[in-house]
Chain A
Amino acid sequence: MVSELREPTYLVLTALADGPLHGYAIIGEVSKITKGQVTLRAGSLYGTLDRLVDEGLVCATGEEVVEGRLRRYYTLTECGTAALSAHATRMVSVSTEALRRLNVSPRFA
């Protein structure tokens, strides 16, 4: 069951859109995407990843050990790509409409 994407979910899926990433890289990518406005913490990140793996939107693709530290890589599944694409399209549509309305209704600007 895949419900409407919530912000952390949307950000993690967007971070993974360019290719597989490990936990720390996802945190860094989310910070970059949001221009430093959102910093995911480890507990929240793994809570979100657990749910995304459970929903079949993300899967683990491999592991490596760097300087004695385990890195597990995650990537979008086909279902995850479709969900992200659908949500992003909807967001663009709503944002475009909001901007259009702001232009024709300057009293709300």
Chain B
Amino acid sequence: MTTLETHYKWLVRLYPTAYREQRGDEILSTLLESTDSERTWPSVGDTVDLVGHALRLRLGVGEHQPLGRLFVIVGPCQLVMASLMSVIAVVFGEWSPFSPWPWVPPGHLGPFFTAGPIAYFAWILAGISLLLDRPRLTRRLVGLSIVLTAALVPIGHLFALGRPAMFYLLFLVALGIPYVAVPNQGLVWRATRWSQKALLATPFLPAAAIALGTARLGAGGSGPGDFFYRYALGAVASWITWIVVAAIVVAMIAVIAGRRLLGATIALLCVPWMALWMGNHFSSYVSPRDAMAGFVLTGILLLILAKFAMTVRRSALEQAT
């Protein structure tokens, strides 16, 4: 056995046992045949590619696995949401000319109230790349956006800059994960089923509610910074709650009609929004009634997703036996 083969075997061991038993030798052969025999170590590209594939299979988000197929549908929709929410945050939450006050807080970044736009512009670029149908570039930009969003916390500390509310940053990261988890995601409106195409409309409903609600509050004396992240988002929580209620009804009808993947997709699309309201609730800007509604709705969404996971698990066990 050559040194290269030994090293490739280490990498193949990263795959789940069942998959390795089925495909391990075949993958190893392909790797050895496609690599220059004088090499002793796998290339960085091959290593990243194999580790990524093995990790996706272990997490259950391989392209042929149910969760992977769910992420392929949800990923582009949530990326559109993240881009829209970044545009809204830049305009209503950060842009100081929108502010009714003649001052900007300490820790501002140029005309922006916080360092948030460093990450927001990356999310907006990722959304534009998605619309231009550049999946590989989009995936890199989403990865960059997630890193920049997480980096806002240390950047804020190191350079004494303000940052958006933590729950808003976590919300954006949660929206980006399905897109980076599964490669080769195309535009959702290329899907053949009308129900998948209809999903494209979903990001615009809550985004429009937030934009309209915040603009209305803005005229009444609100403004960027914490007023947007905590007060304004809390004030429109009940609007979003009704949108989520409508989505849950559609999801339950889909589940009853045997369209479990569609039901789970709708539920997964709603989860980040409920997480946003729950995060805002702990900042005390959501009324107790809306918070209670939020907990109940989040519970229903998680039940729909658990039902989907149990069905997938059962069918996998049936296939194995």
Question: Residues of A at under 8 Å CB distance from B?
Answer: 1-4, 6-9, 22-24, 27, 41-48, 50-51, 53-54, 69-72
- Complex: A3 Cα to B28 Cα, angstroms: 30
Among B32, B49, B69, B196, find the residue whose CB has the most chain A CB atoms closer than 10 A: B49
Q: Could you say which of B31, B51, B64, B190 contacts A4, with CB atoms under 8 Å apart?
A: B190
Q: Is B184 an interface residue (CB 8 A)?
A: yes
Given A2-B192, A70-B26, A72-B26, is A41 in contact with B49 using a C-beta cutoff of 8 Å? yes
Within 8 A of A (CB), among B216-242: none
Q: Could you say which of A7, A24, A41, A43 contacts B29, with CB atoms under 8 Å apart?
A: A24
B63 touches A50 (CB 8 A): yes
Q: Is B157 an interface residue (CB 8 A)?
A: no
B25 touches A70 (CB 8 A): yes
Segment from B52-60, B109-117, B118-126, B278-286 that makes contact with A: B52-60
- Complex: A3 Cα to B187 Cα, angstroms: 11
Q: Could you say which of B25, B50, B192 contacts A43, with CB atoms under 8 Å apart?
A: B50
By secondary structure, the B interface counts as: helix
27 A-B pairs within 8 Å (CB atoms) are namely A1-B192, A1-B193, A2-B192, A3-B190, A3-B192, A4-B190, A6-B184, A23-B30, A24-B33, A41-B45, A42-B31, A42-B50, A43-B49, A43-B53, A43-B54, A44-B53, A46-B53, A47-B56, A47-B63, A47-B183, A48-B63, A48-B184, A51-B63, A69-B29, A70-B25, A70-B26, A71-B29
Within 8 A of A (CB), among B32-91: 32-34, 45-46, 49-54, 56, 62-64, 69, 72
- Complex: A13 Cα to B290 Cα, angstroms: 51
